[in-house]
A and B are shown apart, each in its own frame.
Chain A
Amino acid sequence: MVHKKAGALALVAALLMTGSAFAQQRVLNFTTDNNDPAPKAAWEQLVADFEAENPDVDVQMNIMDREAYKTAIRNFLIADAPDVANWYPANRMTPFVKAGQFLDISDVYKDYGLDTELASTLPIVTQDGKQWMVSYTYYQWGIYFNKTVYEQVGATIPATWDEFIANCEKFKAAEIDCLTTGTSQLWPAAGIFDYLNLRTNGYEFHKALTSGEIPWTDDRVRAVFAEWAKVVPYTTANQAAIDWQDAVPLLVQGKAANYVMGNFAVAPLKEGGMTNETLGFLPFPTINPDVPRAEEAPTDAIFIPAGAKNVDDAKKFLAFVARADTQTKLNEALGQLPVNSGSTVGDDPFLKAGFELLSTTPGGIAQFFDRDAPAEMAKAGMEGFQQFMVQPEELENILARLEQVRQQVYK
């Protein structure tokens, strides 16, 4: 019966759509990789809101698989460009801008006063003095932990790395993985490395390392791996074979205590049955107290491809996404933080914690290893991190190989 109702609804909706199509709507093609349930719903809502404000525009949202999108984008930009699509700012946008695949949207920034409203991300969407993307969300990284198992083994919430490692001993005795992750897609390993690096050497070093100014065989890099080696024995075995989503149940079921992840992990963790009472968030613990605290907060953004057909409506859409109230609503649904300075943060303990964390960061905010470093270095680096977690004794070989890649990439 329910199915029948849904079917009837769909039929009515389809009829309505064909009806409205006669009213000479302009089509706006929007290609996106937000295929996880929560982000997908959030964007569908945003598109509906946009269409309500602009009844003469029909937004066709084309949703692709998130991982596949990263390779597909280069094909569809050239072969069949949509009017709007999403991508990552900073280094990941550079090759596209260089190749002239992005449309210059500096006028949108001027016309709608976005230089002030989106000021915080202006540097990473600017290249050659022009703006290329509109950022709509960012999210903190940190440690998500299972409060129940913390109580079970009598661990206290760690403020320093030494305390964190001391907790690991307790978890080990209870046969719980102190740290879990799933690196079959490689990038989760980079999150751990970035934080260890930010805490050991700080943001400026992170920037210099990802721009290739520091050899991988440098003692400061070795220091990061030395800290990492302390937690490797307490990390989930076989993490190299599982996806980040597969590590989620380990934390939910109490088989693991801590998970270094981005805030997007909260949705699947809660779906798995965790609540605000059992799921905790803590900033990555301090390693070197003299290093100013820096955080990792990747930003997502949308852009207009150079081959877009409906540029006018695309610009309207970008301006709509940039607006304070839109970003408030979108990010509440996404469970992430709005970029627009006029937006308000959703009423969720993890968002509040993230906002608090990022707005008080003295050291600087990093994008992410694979967004700050060029693609080839990122890939080799993340493979090295993954290998280190499986074979820590291979460190010398890993560093030598990364150094070889660095000399190749940045020449």
Chain B
Amino acid sequence: MTSFWKANQRRLAPWLFLAPGLLMFAVYVIIPIFQSMWISFYDWDGLGEAKWIGTANYVELTTDPNMVTSFKNNIIWLVLYMLAVPAGLFIAIFLNQTVGGIRLYKSLFFFPFVISQVVVGLIFSWFYAPNFGLFYKVIEFFTGQGVAILADPGLVTYGIIAAGLWPQIAYVMILYLTGLNNVAPDQVEAARLDGAKGWRMLWYVILPQLRPATFIAVVVTVIGALRSFDLVSIMTNGGPFGSSRVLSYYMYEKALSEYGYRMGYGAAIAVVLFAIMMIFISGFIWKMWRDETER
């Protein structure tokens, strides 16, 4: 026994250290993924007997108009959420200076990320609220006719994304601020001597050095956009008449909400969402793998 341990200690030790984490990851992430896939082939109300129906849930998904709405909204989310990256960069550069009290300003800008998404959702729903919301009042003042963003099927998704961007920009900003701390001063100095300034300085000298921060910022923003659930739930419940649904919320509605008694169908939506996420996740993993091996 001891000789076996002695002979293989170096090979075994890492696995022993990894074991608790791997076990948790398997129980709470890997196994549920396969369980969801399994459930998606059943017709099950979550209480009674589950009935095997093969791919019927997926077939139904292809003709479900709500699925189309959710999918379209998810894409709008993905695209517009990316605005958080340049906006966060801009604010980070703006705040990256040595003025008295800059720490206070930085923390004020970071503040929206600290408060819970639920609170953000509530603040914005009051902001948009018809008849008394600030946004509604301002629009009414200028145009004479207020716009209730959350009641308008065409605008509601944009209204929720705006609410989501507020904390997301703060998050990206903090990533870039730490990145900017690591920008090599000698390179900036050298570029300056060569006459670079303004945009050229930013594009050719600063940004390349911020690549790791940009990578992380894009990753968290993509994931943030795809799992956008809390804001939709708090601000509109997917309404009006389902026009602000996203995949994650539709999954919840079908499987777990008041009128949802279809675990299988909800699981099928989850699998589709997982497949979409997998596209991005594999991309990220591939990039990280490449960076690691190149070194």
Chain A residues proximal to chain B, CB less than 8 Å: 67, 70-71, 74, 78, 95-96, 98-101, 183-186, 237-242, 370, 375-376, 378-379, 383-384, 386-387, 390-391, 401, 404, 408
B60 touching A408, Cβ below 8 Å: yes
Which of A241, A375, A386, A391 meets B129, CB within 8 Å? A241
Which of B153, B236, B241, B256 meets A71, CB within 8 Å? B256
B55 to chain A, nearest CB (A): 16
Q: Give CA–CA (A100, B45) in the complex, Å.
A: 13
Given contacts A241-B129, A401-B65, contact A375 B48 (CB under 8 A): no
Given contacts A74-B47, A242-B130, A375-B261, contact A383 B241 (CB under 8 A): yes
Q: Which 8 A-B pairs have the closest CB atoms?
A: A99-B47, A241-B151, A379-B259, A240-B240, A238-B148, A387-B241, A238-B130, A70-B258
A50 to chain B, nearest CB (A): 29
13 of the cross-chain contacts (CB-CB < 8 Å) are A74-B256, A95-B45, A238-B130, A239-B151, A240-B150, A241-B130, A375-B260, A383-B239, A384-B241, A386-B239, A387-B153, A387-B240, A401-B65
Task: List B residues 16-65 near A (Cβ within 8 Å).
Answer: 45-48, 60, 63, 65
Which of B46, B153, B257 meets A391, CB within 8 Å? B153
Q: Beyond A375-B258, A379-B253: 14 further Cβ-contacts under 8 Å?
A: A95-B45, A98-B47, A99-B48, A184-B236, A237-B130, A238-B148, A240-B240, A241-B130, A241-B149, A242-B130, A242-B151, A384-B241, A386-B240, A387-B240
What residues of A have a CB within 8 angstroms of the CB of B241 in the complex? 240, 383-384, 386-387, 390
B contact residues, total (Cβ < 8 Å): 30
B239 touching A184, Cβ below 8 Å: yes
Residue in A closest to B150 when the chains form the complex, CB atoms: A241
What residues of A have a CB within 8 angstroms of the CB of B63 in the complex? 404
Q: Give CA–CA (A374, B130) in the complex, Å.
A: 33
What residues of B have a CB within 8 angstroms of the CB of A375 in the complex? 258-261
Q: Give CA–CA (A101, B45) in the complex, Å.
A: 13
Q: Does B237 contact A (CB under 8 A)?
A: yes
Residue of A71, A98, A240, A378 with most chain B CB atoms under a 10 A cut-off? A240
B240 touching A390, Cβ below 8 Å: yes
Residue in A closest to B260 when the chains form the complex, CB atoms: A375
Chain B residues proximal to chain A, CB less than 8 Å: 45-48, 60, 63, 65, 128-131, 148-151, 153, 236-237, 239-242, 253, 256-262
B145 to chain A, nearest CB (A): 10
B60 touching A95, Cβ below 8 Å: no
Residue in B closest to A373 when the chains form the complex, CB atoms: B259
What residues of B have a CB within 8 angstroms of the CB of A378 in the complex? 259
A383 touching B242, Cβ below 8 Å: yes
A186 touching B239, Cβ below 8 Å: yes
Given contacts A375-B259, A376-B262, A387-B241, contact A240 B151 (CB under 8 A): yes
What residues of A have a CB within 8 angstroms of the CB of B153 in the complex? 387, 390-391
What residues of B have a CB within 8 angstroms of the CB of A404 in the complex? 63
Q: Give CA–CA (A138, B87) in the complex, Å.
A: 55
What residues of B have a CB within 8 angstroms of the CB of A183 in the complex? 240
Residue in A closest to B136 when the chains form the complex, CB atoms: A238
Which of A370, A384, A408 meets B259, CB within 8 Å? A370
Residue in B closest to A391 when the chains form the complex, CB atoms: B153
What residues of A have a CB within 8 angstroms of the CB of B240 in the complex? 183-184, 240-241, 386-387, 390
Q: Give CA–CA (A100, B153) in the complex, Å.
A: 40
Q: Give CA–CA (A401, B63) in the complex, Å.
A: 11
Which of A71, A98, A240 meets B258, CB within 8 Å? A71
Residue in A closest to B149 when the chains form the complex, CB atoms: A241
Q: Give CA–CA (A408, B150) in the complex, Å.
A: 30
